[in-house]
């Protein structure tokens, strides 16, 4: 009998399983009410007195070995289940989240928006796929007007006519069609031109358009607004307005800021003049107001438009526009601190 118990101990020691059902069956086989161990205990009285001590020790050893074994196996499956599911140590310090950086075009766009927001401009947007009316005709550029050639256009469809907008001035029209004066709005967005890609130009880029319509708006208002803007953005307080031509404004002007001539770079980027052109502007042509059903006898206004890339390139001293579109993380991550 003792030999049989010793064999059972060996069986217990050799048992191994990761399956909880198997472990439970094993427990029932040994420790259950009708299991080996209770059977050996009930047979205790039949054992000869001289062997009782040795027999008792053997069953107790079998019992404790079986209990230890089951304990050990249960622990090991609990551990591996924990690892899979909820082995979360809530006391551990959190790992740092790697912060990305914003794109320089977004940073500059938001800076410009913030400046105009301070003086009461809201933001308006329009579609990148436009029709001829909003991109050209309503802006005083009727069909066959030679000034249409100023912007090489990607045409999409003839009837209905669709094109990729060449400037954000189209949003002026949409805004005036849907709002009554007083209007103070700026419209940031992407524009497209059928141009060769080079260090200075690209077939798409970003603009911000500004529009102010009210009674008695004058050229002096335009100049002061732009002066405020250039002071805020560039910290430069000298601007000049050079006569220019845009079909949608009359009179029209090109805005230059005095950048200065303090370094070799200043000489290079201003071509030795100290002046830099940053945008176009003018008083909204009465024809444009009329096209949008705004009474041009009662209202007047000014508009301006600038390229965001151009401003970003100036402020961050970027020489090649193409780098702005490559999304090279080594380049983009340099703007982390400018957010």
Asked if 69 is part of the footprint of ligand DAH (rule: CB under 6 A), the reply reads no
Return the H-helix or E-strand segment holding 184.
Answer: strand 183-192
Give the interface segment with ligand DAH, choosing from 21-29, 106-114, 122-130, 301-309 (CB under 6 A). Answer: 301-309
Asked if 280 is part of the footprint of ligand DAH (rule: CB under 6 A), the reply reads yes
Q: Contact, 138 vs 292, CB < 8 A?
A: yes
Q: Contact, 213 vs 296, CB < 8 A?
A: no
Alpha carbon 44 to chain centroid distance?
Answer: 78
Asked if 124 is part of the footprint of ligand DAH (rule: CB under 6 A), the reply reads no
Out of 63, 109, 165, 167, name the contact with ligand DAH by CB under 6 A: 167
Asked if 300 is part of the footprint of ligand DAH (rule: CB under 6 A), the reply reads no
Asked if 246 is part of the footprint of ligand DAH (rule: CB under 6 A), the reply reads yes
Report, in Å, the least distance between residue 306 CB and ligand DAH.
7
User: What is the rounded CA–CA span in Å between residue 69 and residue 149?
Assistant: 89
Nearest to 209 by CA among 280, 260, 155: 280
Nearest to 284 by CA among 120, 128, 135, 169: 169
Q: How far, CA to CA in Å, does 245 sit from each of 182, 193, 279, 337? A: 25, 19, 12, 39
Peptide bond into 182 cis (omega under 30): yes
Q: In b/e form, how buried is each residue of 117-140, taking b as 16+ CB within 10 angstroms?
A: eeeebeebebeeebbbebbbbbbb
Alpha carbon 66 to chain centroid distance?
Answer: 60
- Residue 66 or 163: the one with the smaller Cβ distance to ligand DAH is 163
Alpha carbon 314 to chain centroid distance?
Answer: 24
Out of 169, 187, 230, 270, name the contact with ligand DAH by CB under 6 A: 169
Report, in Å, the least distance between residue 210 CB and ligand DAH.
7
Report, in Å, the least distance between residue 273 CB and ligand DAH.
21
Asked if 104 is part of the footprint of ligand DAH (rule: CB under 6 A), the reply reads no
Report, in Å, the least distance between residue 124 CB and ligand DAH.
13
Asked if 188 is part of the footprint of ligand DAH (rule: CB under 6 A), the reply reads no
- Residue 98 or 149: the one with the smaller Cβ distance to ligand DAH is 149
Report, in Å, the least distance between residue 249 CB and ligand DAH.
4
- The residue nearest ligand DAH at its CB is 305
Asked if 303 is part of the footprint of ligand DAH (rule: CB under 6 A), the reply reads yes
Please report, as ranges, the residues that interact with ligand DAH according to CB under 6 A: 167, 169, 209, 246, 249, 280-282, 303-305
């Amino acid at each position: 009998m003792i030999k049989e118990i010793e064999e059972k101990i060996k069986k217990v020691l050799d048992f191994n399983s990761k399956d909880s059902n198997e472990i439970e069956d094993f427990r029932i086989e040994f420790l259950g009410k009708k299991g080996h161990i209770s059977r050996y205990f009930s047979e205790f009285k039949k054992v000869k007195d001289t062997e009782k001590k040795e027999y008792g020790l053997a069953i107790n050893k079998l019992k404790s070995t079986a209990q230890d074994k089951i304990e050990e196996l249960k622990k090991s499956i609990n551990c591996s289940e924990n690892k899979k599911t909820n082995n979360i140590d809530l006391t551990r310090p959190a790992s740092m989240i790697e912060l990305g950086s914003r794109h320089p075009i977004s940073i500059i766009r938001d800076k410009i928006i913030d400046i105009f927001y301070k003086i009461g401009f809201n933001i308006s947007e329009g579609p990148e796929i436009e029709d001829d009316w909003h991109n050209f005709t309503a802006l005083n550029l009727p069909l066959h007007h030679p000034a249409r050639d100023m912007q090489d256009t990607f045409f999409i469809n003839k009837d209905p006519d669709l094109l990729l907008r060449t400037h954000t001035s189209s949003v002026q029209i949409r805004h005036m069609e849907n709002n009554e004066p007083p209007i103070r709005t700026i419209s940031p967005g992407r524009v497209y031109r059928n141009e060769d890609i080079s260090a200075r130009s690209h077939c798409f880029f970003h603009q911000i358009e500004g529009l102010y319509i009210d009674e008695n708006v004058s050229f002096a208002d335009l100049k002061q607004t732009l002066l405020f803007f250039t002071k805020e953005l560039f910290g430069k307080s000298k601007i000049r307005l050079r006569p220019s031509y845009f079909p949608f404004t009359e009179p029209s002007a090109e805005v230059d800021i005095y950048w200065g001539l303090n370094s070799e770079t200043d000489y290079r980027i201003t071509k030795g003049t100290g002046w830099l052109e940053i945008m176009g502007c003018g008083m909204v042509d009465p024809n444009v107001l009329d096209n949008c059903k705004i009474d041009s006898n009662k209202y007047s206004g000014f508009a301006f438009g600038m390229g965001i890339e151009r401003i970003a390139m100036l402020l961050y001293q970027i020489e090649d526009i193409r780098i702005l579109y490559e999304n090279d993380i080594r380049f983009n991550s340099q703007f982390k601190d400018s957010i």
